[in-house]
Structure 1
Amino acid sequence: MFAKMRWTTTQACAAIALMALTSGLPATPAKAQVTAYKQAVAEVASQDDEVAAFYRQTNYAPLWTGEGPEFTARRAALMAALADVTVHGLPASRYDAAGLMAKMQAARTTRDLGMVEVALSLAFVHYAHDISSGILTPGKIDAGILREVPRRDGVDLLKGLATNAPTAYLASLAPHNPEYRELMKEKIRYERLIAAGGWGPTVPAKALKPGESGEAVVALRNRLIAMGYMERSVSRDYDAALEEGIRTFQHAHGLNEDGVAGPGTVEEINISADDRLKSIIVALERERWMNIPRGKRHILVNQTDFTAKIIDDGRVTFQTRSVIGMNQGDRRSPEFSDEMEHMIVNPSWHVPRSIIVKEYLPQLQANPNAARHLIITDSRGRRVDRETMDFTQFSTRNFPFDMRQAPGDANALGKVKFMFPNSNNIYLHDTPAKNLFAREVRAYSHGCIRLADPFDFAYALLSAQTDDPQGVFQAALRSGRETKIDLVEHVPVHLIYRTAQVDARGKAEFRRDVYGRDGKIWDALQRAGVALPSVQG
């Protein structure tokens, strides 16, 4: 099967050399041949609006099937690219390269030539879209993935191919950020690792701790050695070296670094290399969804990592722990990109309607004096008298009031919130619940992102526009009044979800699939034809 074949550019050129088609065409008058060719191109191209538009603009001139080295080079570059799609985690079966080869080899008439011309353009546009922006539609996988995929116009893609060196142009279509390149390298490394047998036996224990010894400890040590988290040794004891190896593993997987192989750590250690490879392939697809300029300075919130970072010129200049939405219903934090415009110091908390009707309305119906920390107002902003109001007359559909918590130490948003106005009403903010940041899995909010170090985050943002960021912020804070501080330059914000990421040394690190989204993506990729090397047909 062609899916198993690997073509070099030289081999592709040799195969496509059969397309000295025009020299073998019947001795039909030139005008009739041109007309038949154009009619075939127009007819077949009509199945795709963008491809059809390109050929109309070029008066149906050939891009692939003309005579000369530039046409041969384009054909060879496309076939070589299609033969290499699995390197990117894309399914070879999706592009039917064998079928394209067969069409080229079987072409005998001018009409055949026109049909081959369009088939190659359709294959190219299909490939170009997939390699540059992914093969899946994010919102169809999970309602919480609100990522807008940067799909490039097919006409522009074909024009780009016509005016550039084909091999270089095709290579330019995939994401060019360092993360994508390093993930591809790790994909290849994991495929080789799996072919060699993986990491060996799993640890036959639910938990182990320093001071223990025995076969389970040996299995734990051997697995960490195979993974590259400690030096080779033969001790049967859970000694200091093994404890340090556990800490190294825990650091690379976002776990509490206590050196103890507790249930959570053992569970992560026992995850197979095959499953880790799936996470890498999913991460490659996710990177294609985000094949956009991210901003010279930008904010990156990786939900699975429970962190928020400020990145300047590709370097992390600030990082803090975060809390994300609970793993239930509409409380899961969504994924999307926007721009941070301002921060509000001493914010009021305007309670979202979903929380009002789901959580507070039942409390008020049971006791009008419930949730006294919240001010209830009508549509004109007037305060509602709880003592005279019968809340039992209202339902989740007709409750007419708003609820607000005034600024203060107990405010649910803490002392500052960071705004990138969006239809999902998601933002970053402080919180009085500081104890949650010490937990390993931090999914407790109603969807917004809570920050462990919001003041330092504010100072880092304001440092781009003032020599005294701390003074500016603290002056607003001391006023006790709700104060808006605009960011002179808006900062792109990217709320992402990565269970596989690459560290500074180019080694893959992994995180738990908190919301199960990456599992859904892998299932969809499988349905599209993606498979691990060990199970490919």
Structure 2
Amino acid sequence: MTLTSPTGPKRSKTQFRTHAAIVSLALGVSVTLPAVVAMIAPTPVIAQEFPAFRQALAEGVGESRALSSFYREIGYTEVWTGAEHAARRSALVSALSRAEEHGLPSARYDLQGLLAAFNAVQTERDRGFVEARASLTFLQYARDISSGVLEPSAVISDIVRDLPRPDPAVLMREFTAAEPVSFIRNLAPSAPEYARLFHAKRELEDTIANGGWGPTVQAGSLQPGQHGSAVVALRNRLIAMGYMPRVATARYDGMMQRAVQEFQVAHGIDPDGVAGSATIREINVAPEERVRNIVVALERERWLNIPRGDRHVWVNLTDFSARVVDFDQVTFQTRSVVGSRANQTPEFSDVMEYLEINPDWTLPRSIVAEYWGALSSGGARHLNMIDGQGNVVPREYVDFARYSPTSLPFNVRQPPGPGNPLGEVKFMFPNAHAIYLHDTPSRSLFGHSVRAYSHGCIRLQDPRDFAYTLLGMQEVDPEAYYQRVLRSRQQTRVSLLTPVPVHLVYRTAFTSVTGRMNYRADIYRRDSRLYDALLRAGVEVGA
């Protein structure tokens, strides 16, 4: 039976219903997803045309070696376009329709184009190309949601991540053997942080749709005891953000002071309860900007969609903190100092293998240059020249006039001691960037809110307790053991019997275990560059 459209040629009943469904979607008319998926199943055609399907499918996947291999394995049979594949089509359409919620570039998957291609099938050759298109679209979506839209090192060279890109052929085999809805749902990172960020983004978007957080606070600073319109604006934004219950007070009272302190903690500000300029500046940030922070954080979570270790070290550069995490619970935390803006700490993951108690310090060539004037003029006597065999070379045997900091044929090393920049212990995860965690004699810097001062390595405020925590897995009395080695004054390597993964991350938006959002300054301006790259890739925010 055929139906005639008043504006077009004759179509089969199935084609007419499919066309109507797509038009309804385009016009915003309510059509249930199962109904649409049922309608896009192509009309069966005569069996003798099947070779055309196989030929078109082979052409359609030809540029993907892995996908071509998969279809060869299964004899170029369909996995999307058969009448029995409605559940797979439904799962894919549902996922693509929600891609934007994850901060993914929905235009990259062109759901409407895919639906239209299904609707336009007239021949087995058409069906073969649609089969290929569906698989390619699925693989692109699966790659993006499981391991990220961007290649981060191509945007910022200091982000050194080995992305967990899925193997396309393995992905197709596993998908076709699984229940499709749960399989596609489980492509997203399983880390609790991803789910919390996802829900926070959705709640913020609802807040924006309902008018945002209200007027900004028109004051340079506010403090307890004050009252007036600016205090009311501060109160209203704190209420809208969830830091205060609904109250009618127009005075900066104790309740507001506690709310300001909570806000300050969540934004990395000294929690003095006074709404100074830094606090007012953060209070006035628009929710739309916070959504952008979360979109970048979701992308960063996708890059780390890997087993992080039942026990691991988590260093958030923007938060100036280092944590030991055991089974998703923070068991130890200390302040840190990270690389300055001129000497930025890179982002990467590695494995901590050992501690070195009473370490010496071999100066990187960039730092040798800073000491060159003193070295060449006979100063800096605390530094030794070390030859290739590890022997100390008397300073008078070195003709500094013949060399430069880069051509000097000796290492420059400071022996262990109270003045050593590495302090009494360093924590080693050998890597190509020469980055590690360590103690420091420069204690005053830990009192600063923004602690970006080092040459790239990460200094710890409480290195002893950090060491005790790590050694607690292998020593009955880790403190006594550590102190005994320290008193020896001998440089001593202590291997970790169970190496510990270390993740150096950069999060300007992250959650507490309760789901409350925390925000930090983009100290290296990395997230702003990543956000721009996501926009170029097709991510739409607030559309």
What range is the shorter-chain TM-score in? over 0.9
Q: What is the CA–CA distance in structure 2 between the aligned matches of 1:20 and 1:251, rounded to whole Å?
A: 54
* Counterpart residue number, 1:183: 197
Shift of 1:503: 1.2
Instruction: Look up the match of 2:75.
Output: 59
Deviation for aligned residue 1:6? 12
Alpha-carbon shift at residue 137 of structure 1 (Å): 0.6
Paired residue secondary structure (1:21): coil
Once residues 133 and 478 of structure 1 are traced to their aligned partners in structure 2, the CA distance between those partners, rounded to angstroms, is 47
- Partner AA of 1:333 in structure 2: T
The percent of aligned pairs where both chains have the same amino acid is 48
In structure 2, the partner of 1:257 is: 271
In 2, Cα distance between equivalents of 1:38 and 1:306: 57
TM-score, reference length from structure 1: 0.93
Counterpart mapping for 1:54-93 below 5 A: 54-68=70-84, 71-93=85-107
Q: Deviations over 1:453-476 (max 9, x none)?
A: 111111111111121111111111
Task: Say whether the 8 Å CA contact 1:283–1:501 is kept in structure 2.
Answer: yes
2:18 aligned residue: none
1:346 alignment partner in structure 2: 358
Q: Show CA shifts across 1:93-117 (max 9, x none).
A: 1110011101101101111111111
Q: Which moved more, 1:223-232 or 1:469-478?
A: 223-232
Are 1:138 and 2:159 matched, yes or no?
Answer: no
Q: Partner of 1:45 in structure 2?
A: 61
> Following the alignment from structure 2 to structure 1, what is the Cα–Cα distance between the partners of residues 519 and 220?
20
Work out the CA distance in 2 between the residues paired with 1:234 and 1:283.
36
Q: What letter corresponds to residue 372 of structure 2 in structure 1?
A: L
Query: Conserved in 1, the CA contact under 8 Å of 2:359 and 2:491?
Result: yes
Correspondence for 2:453: 444
Q: Could you tell me how far apart the structure 2 residues matched to 1:121 and 1:20 are?
A: 15
The answer on 1:494 being equivalent to 2:503 is yes
User: Which of 506, 511, 514 is equivalent to 1:505?
Assistant: 514
Q: Which residue of 337, 348, 355 corresponds with 1:336?
A: 348
User: In terms of mean alpha carbon deviation, does 255-264 or 480-489 score higher?
Assistant: 255-264
Residue pairs, 1:220-369, within 5 angstroms: 220-328=234-342, 331-357=343-369, 359-365=370-376, 367-369=377-379
Report how far residue 282 of structure 1 moved.
0.7
Partner in structure 1 of residue 526 of structure 2: 517
Per-residue CA deviations over 1:399-455 (Å, capped at 9, x if unaligned) read 322111111111100100011111111111111111111110111111111111111
Give the letter for the 2:236 counterpart: N
CA offset at residue 55 of structure 1?
Answer: 0.9
SS at the partner of 2:496?
strand
Distance 2:373 2:221 in 1: 43
Are 1:33 and 2:33 an aligned pair? no
SS at match of 2:288: helix
CA, structure 1 residues 453+13, in 2 after alignment: closer, same or farther (shift >3 Å)? same
In 1, the alpha carbon distance for the partners of 2:30 and 2:499 equals 45
Paired residue type of 2:62: S
Contact 1:9 1:80 in 2 (8 A): no
Change (3 A) 1:260 1:59: same
Task: Select 1:108's aligned residue among 104, 122, 127.
Answer: 122
Shift of 1:132: 0.3
Deviation at 1:486, TM superposition (A): 0.7
* Count of matched residue positions in the alignment of Structure 1 and Structure 2: 521
What is the TM-score with the length of structure 2 in the denominator? 0.92
- Partners of 1:45 and 1:77 in 2: CA distance: 21
Task: Tell me what 2:9 maps to.
Answer: none
Give the partner amino acid of 2:312: H
Q: What letter is aligned with 2:145? A: I
| Structure 1 unaligned spans of 5+ | none
The AA in structure 1 aligned to 2:357 is V
CA distance, structure 2, for counterparts of residue 368 and residue 463 of structure 1: 45
Q: Cα distance, 1:182 vs. partner?
A: 0.8
Code of the residue aligned with 2:266 in structure 1: it is: A
In the TM superposition, residue 389 of structure 1 has moved relative to its aligned partner by 4.1
- After TM superposition, list the pairs within 5 Å mapping 1:125-164 onto structure 2: 125-164=139-178
* Residue aligning to 2:6: none
Question: Matched residue of 1:17: which SS?
Answer: helix
Q: 2:511 and 2:26 mapped to 1: Cα distance?
A: 29
Contact 2:99-2:105 at 8 Å conserved across structures: yes
Structural RMSD (CA): 2.1
Q: 1:115 to 1:206 in 2, by over 3 A?
A: same
**Cα distance in 2, alignment partners of residues 427 and 139 from structure 1:** 21
SS at match of 2:90: helix
The Cα of 1:387 is off from its aligned counterpart by 4.5
Give the SS at the match of 2:36.
Answer: helix
Checking the alignment, whether the CA contact within 8 Å between 1:347 and 1:415 is kept in structure 2 is yes
- Which residue of 461, 478, 481 maps to 1:469? 478
Alpha-carbon deviation of 1:9? 13
